[in-house]
Amino acid sequence: MTEPRARAARHKGQQNFAPDLKALLFAYGDDREPLPETVKVLDEIVTDYIIETCHEAALSASYSRRAKIKVDDFKFALRRDPQKLGRVQELLTMDKVLKQARRQFDEKDDQVEIAKMEAKEQEKEDKQKDKTESK
């Protein structure tokens, strides 16, 4: 990681991930209501890790002479940890698959809607035709 940063100004009593950390602790065998100190310390650790990773990604973006951080910058920041990098790549792949599935579903939905509209128009035409024939 990069240089240590002052923590006093960073966390002012707020906890960002408390409910998730409680569930995680319970899943790993802790009590249903873990000690508040445990949750607070874990929250600080997770928050520090996320901030440091973001700083490292920002540094990577600045080396590339970009003002905005891209996904590749985070991949570069996680390059030394193959498990985390693999998980990121897995999640990105799954995101692409889900987007493609949603797009296909929307296209099918649009086709169904078009077919319904055409059927309604056909019914209207048939009714008008029947009315004109009965007169």
The CA–CA distances, whole Å, from 58 to 7, 27, 84 equal 19, 33, 18
The CB density around residue 78, as the number of other CB atoms within 10 Å, is 19
- In the CATH scheme, what architecture does the domain 1-80 have? Orthogonal Bundle (1.10)
The residue that leads in pLDDT, 102 or 7, is 102
CA dist., res. 77 & res. 73, Å (int)? 6
Domain segments of the chain: what residues? 1-80, 81-135
* Section 70-95 average pLDDT: 96
Give tens-digit pLDDT for 4-44. 555 545 556 788 999 999 999 999 999 999 999 999 999 99
